[in-house]
Amino acid sequence: MTDTLEQSATRGTATRRVDALVVGAGLSGLYMLHRFRGLGLDTVVLEAGGDIGGTWYWNRYPGARCDVESMEYSYSFDPELEQDWEWSEKYPTQPEILRYVHHVADRFGLHDGVRLDTRVASAHFRDRDGRWTVTTEGGEVWDTEQLVMATGCLSTSKLPEIPGVETFVGRTLHTAHWPHEGADFTGRRVAVIGTGSSGIQAIPLIADEAADLTVFQRTANFSMPANNAPLDPEAQAERKRGYPEHRKAARESGFGIPVPAATQSALEVDPEERRARYEATWGRNLVGMLTSYTDSIVDPAANETAAEFVREKIRGIVHDPETAETLCPRDHPFGTKRPCLDSGYYATFNREHVQLVDLKKTPLTEITARGLRTTEREYEVDDLVFATGFDAMTGSLAAIDLRGRDGKRLADAWADGPVTHLGLQVAGFPNLYTITGPGSPSVLSNMMVSIEQHVDFVADAVRYAHERGATVIESTEEAAQGWTDHVREVGDYTLYPQANSWYMGANVPGKPRVFMAYIGGVGAYRQHCDQLAADGYTGFAFSSA
Ligand code: NA7
């Protein structure tokens, strides 16, 4: 299809008509562009950032690194790509992933399909002709048949709800909006707020430079040493030889990373054997830690054995017993908040110039001109580093004025929490797709495995529709409600809902408290999607406008 330009009567701007619009040029959006182009669809990606890369464009804080191994966290759709690209370390750094994203975009000629610095403001479905009108903050108007939200699960950052942030006169940084030129902390007094993955990765490196570092911890987190290292070329070559089988195993696994299936309850083995098992996994395999036993993530007593093992490790590393106890997580089961991989995180608290403040004991009350005030005292600093996370999974969709059939707003449809069919589509929002959306395995998996599966599903569904002369694909209400009930039911079987996590929306005041990801496993999920597609896309209705 060729582009047509019409004059938009209302805005006086040119409306560009395309077959497909993709929002976001991260790892999902770029692969979606590639697949749609393969179907001959005129496709454009609108990207808010100044370059491609999504998460890996924005999150440039010191130590930013993926905690899935590089040879797993990479596209599998092209055998030559996966053979050619050489990773340098076990866990890839942010700059290396960004280089990889550029390599992929160069290799498949994707750059010219992406419009940078273009943030989508609204997307309204037109009942009369079954197409979408999409407007950008810059006033562009787009007219598209297919609309793919490849907006990421962790892309709308959040600041803490503490009064006074605008009064601080020093430097303010958020891990998800790090300056491209970096930030030098040499000789400075620094506060880091937040001890999730971003904080835990950044803190040791900030400590290397800062004159004084105070870490403000609200919730102690479980973290395991990454033991990162350069990738041995022979080991890399061997993995590449085995890629076909390995990728298949990843696709059929629980978390998108193949690990041997557990066969025993943690409570049926004796403590020595259990300890040996945790010791063998510690510092080697985060998913292995989570899946050591059949009941690790479903039975509180079984889970506690892993949690206590980590606490013992913390006590073994941190010299000051009081600091060690403050760093020991106690208010959520192991794994129910995203566990972290670190490089020297706990040992950082043995350094003279590093302090830990327990916000459970002395909550933050205010940000002042000079620093932070807790219920106990004021801390004067030069830099405030917010590692305070994201409005996860739904934040980036909520930021867009999204309206489906009859002008129904997504915000209203999801007032009590997201309702989706497979985490992919929302009933009443035809031709709209959410890549790794709420209700899919997404954040509970190796994102690359989930991204490829979703993008392939969408591309195949659109091809299926077009081959049958249909231009509109939409999930039925029953299918979406049925799937969402299933997602909740499986979630409720586990310990995940017990944590005040971003999986539960608990980190954003007023957000409905529901477990948003699907914990049934990427293998089972894929099988379900494949079956439903083979049966003619059960739960989806096809029509022409
Ligand atoms: P996270 O994991 O959401 O961590 C945010 C941290 O910030 C966490 O420790 C929060 O404590 C803390 N936080 C948030 N708001 C406040 C306030 N108001 N006061 C004090 N502390 C606060 O985000 P990350 O960027 O670290 O990681 C996101 C994901 O990226 C990660 O899970 C991986 O999947 C990759 P809380 O736990 O809410 O008490």
* Rounded Cα distance, 13 and 4, in Å: 14
Atom of ligand 1 nearest to the CA of 507: 38
Is residue 343 domain-resident? yes
Q: Closest Cα to residue 332, out of 157, 519, 512, 507? A: 507
- pLDDT of residue 355 exceeding 60, the answer is yes
Residue 406 and residue 310 in one domain = no
- pLDDT of residue 163 exceeding 80, the answer is yes
Atom of ligand 1 nearest to the CA of 219: 39
Q: Identify the domain boundary among 329, 361, 386.
A: 386
DSSP secondary structure letters along 148-208: EE---SS-SB---S-TTGGG--SEEEEGGG--TT----TT-EEEEE--SHHHHHHHHHHHH
pLDDT score at 86: 97
Q: Identify the domain boundary among 355, 386, 417.
A: 386
Distance 195 CA to ligand 1 centre (A): 6
* Rounded Cα distance, 461 and 369, in Å: 55
pLDDT score at 10: 44
Residue 366 belongs to domain spanning: 165-251+296-386
Q: Are 95 and 28 in contact (CB under 8 A)?
A: no
Residue 379 and residue 396 in one domain = no
* Rounded Cα distance, 421 and 406, in Å: 20
- pLDDT of residue 5 exceeding 80, the answer is no
Ligand 1 touching residue 507 (CB < 6 A): yes
Is residue 289 domain-resident? no
Find the length of the chain. Answer: 545
Distance 500 CA to ligand 1 centre (A): 11
pLDDT score at 12: 52
* Rounded Cα distance, 181 and 207, in Å: 19
Residue 348 and residue 214 in one domain = yes
Q: Closest Cα to residue 505, out of 405, 344, 391, 400? A: 391
| 3-state secondary structure at position 490 | helix
Residue 126 and residue 195 in one domain = no
Residue 211 and residue 136 in one domain = no
Ligand 1 touching residue 152 (CB < 6 A): no
Atom of ligand 1 nearest to the CA of 443: 34
**302 burial type by CB count under 10 A (0-12 exposed, 13-18 middle, 19+ buried):** buried
Ligand 1 touching residue 94 (CB < 6 A): no
What mean pLDDT is predicted for residues 128-132?
A: 97
Distance 240 CA to ligand 1 centre (A): 35
Distance 157 CA to ligand 1 centre (A): 10
Distance 362 CA to ligand 1 centre (A): 18
pLDDT score at 3: 39
Residue 172 and residue 229 in one domain = yes
Ligand 1 touching residue 193 (CB < 6 A): yes
Residue 397 and residue 352 in one domain = no
Minimal-distance CA residue to ligand 1 atom 10: 194
Using pLDDT thresholds of 50, 70 and 90, give the confidence band for residue 325: very high
Task: Quote the tokens at residue 234.
Answer: 């022979």
Residue 382 and residue 396 in one domain = no
Ligand 1 touching residue 61 (CB < 6 A): no
Task: Quote the tokens at residue 256.
Answer: 């998108």
What mean pLDDT is predicted for residues 190-210?
A: 98
Distance 51 CA to ligand 1 centre (A): 25
What mean pLDDT is predicted for residues 470-479?
A: 98
Distance 458 CA to ligand 1 centre (A): 32
The residue assigned the tokens 């999801």 is 414
**Per residue in 13-67, pLDDT tens?**
689 999 999 999 999 999 999 999 999 999 999 999 999 999 999 999 999 999 9
Query: How high is the mean pLDDT of the chain?
Result: 96
| 3-state secondary structure at position 438 | strand
Minimal-distance CA residue to ligand 1 atom 33: 197
Using pLDDT thresholds of 50, 70 and 90, give the confidence band for residue 193: very high
Ligand 1 touching residue 501 (CB < 6 A): no
CATH of the domain at 314: 3.50.50.60
* Rounded Cα distance, 451 and 22, in Å: 14
Distance 389 CA to ligand 1 centre (A): 4
pLDDT score at 486: 98
Q: Closest Cα to residue 27, out of 374, 385, 455? A: 455
Q: Closest Cα to residue 435, out of 404, 485, 396? A: 396
What's the whole-model pTM score?
0.96
Residue 331 and residue 397 in one domain = no
Backbone angles phi, psi at 147, to 5 degrees: -135, 115
Distances (CA, A) of 346 to 105, 225, 320: 38, 9, 11
Ligand 1 touching residue 154 (CB < 6 A): yes
**99 burial type by CB count under 10 A (0-12 exposed, 13-18 middle, 19+ buried):** middle
- Best of 159, 173, 197 for a ligand 1 pocket test (most atoms within 8 Å of beta carbon): 197
**Per residue in 235-272, pLDDT tens?**
999 999 999 999 999 999 999 999 999 999 999 999 99
pLDDT score at 8: 44
Ligand 1 touching residue 339 (CB < 6 A): no
Q: Closest Cα to residue 396, out of 488, 479, 508, 496? A: 508
Ligand 1 touching residue 329 (CB < 6 A): no
Is residue 245 domain-resident? yes
Ligand 1 touching residue 502 (CB < 6 A): yes
- Best of 507, 511, 516 for a ligand 1 pocket test (most atoms within 8 Å of beta carbon): 507
What mean pLDDT is predicted for residues 155-183?
A: 96
* Rounded Cα distance, 351 and 469, in Å: 67
Minimal-distance CA residue to ligand 1 atom 32: 338
Q: What CA dihedral angle connects 439, 445, 446 and 449, to 10 degrees?
A: -50
Atom of ligand 1 nearest to the CA of 194: 7
Atom of ligand 1 nearest to the CA of 198: 26
Least confident of 8-17, 212-221, 479-488, 493-502: 8-17
Is residue 207 domain-resident? yes
Residues 275-282: contacts with CB under 8 Å, at least 24 apart: 275/309, 278/305, 278/306, 278/309, 282/224, 282/225, 282/309, 282/313
Distances (CA, A) of 53 to 49, 97, 135, 466: 9, 8, 22, 30
Residue 431 and residue 519 in one domain = yes
Using pLDDT thresholds of 50, 70 and 90, give the confidence band for residue 545: confident
Q: Identify the domain boundary among 386, 402, 424.
A: 386
Ligand 1 touching residue 506 (CB < 6 A): no
Is residue 282 domain-resident? no
Distances (CA, A) of 61 to 183, 210, 389, 507, 525: 8, 15, 13, 21, 34
Minimal-distance CA residue to ligand 1 atom 19: 160
* Rounded Cα distance, 156 and 48, in Å: 12
Domain count, the chain: 2
Residue 343 and residue 425 in one domain = no
| 3-state secondary structure at position 298 | coil
Using pLDDT thresholds of 50, 70 and 90, give the confidence band for residue 337: very high
**352 burial type by CB count under 10 A (0-12 exposed, 13-18 middle, 19+ buried):** exposed
Element at 127 (helix H, strand E): none
Is residue 160 domain-resident? no
Ligand 1 touching residue 195 (CB < 6 A): yes
Q: Closest Cα to residue 145, out of 528, 471, 451, 438? A: 471
* Rounded Cα distance, 276 and 271, in Å: 9
Distance 320 CA to ligand 1 centre (A): 24
**Which residues, 6+ apart, have CB-to-CB distance to 521 below 8 Å?**
253, 254, 255, 441
Task: Quote the tokens at residue 16.
Answer: 């560009």
Alpha helices in 360-473 (DSSP H): 395-398, 410-413, 447-467
Minimal-distance CA residue to ligand 1 atom 36: 219
Ligand 1 touching residue 196 (CB < 6 A): yes
Q: For strand 212-217 and strand 189-193, is the pairing parallel, antiparallel, or unpaired?
A: parallel
Is residue 266 domain-resident? no
Ligand 1 touching residue 160 (CB < 6 A): yes
Distances (CA, A) of 62 to 52, 185, 198: 20, 11, 9
Ligand 1 touching residue 198 (CB < 6 A): yes
Using pLDDT thresholds of 50, 70 and 90, give the confidence band for residue 378: very high
Minimal-distance CA residue to ligand 1 atom 28: 389
Residue 327 and residue 426 in one domain = no
Ligand 1 touching residue 197 (CB < 6 A): yes
- Best of 65, 218, 336, 340 for a ligand 1 pocket test (most atoms within 8 Å of beta carbon): 218
Q: Are 110 and 150 in contact (CB under 8 A)?
A: no
Is residue 187 domain-resident? yes
Distance 196 CA to ligand 1 centre (A): 4
Q: Are 267 and 235 in contact (CB under 8 A)?
A: no
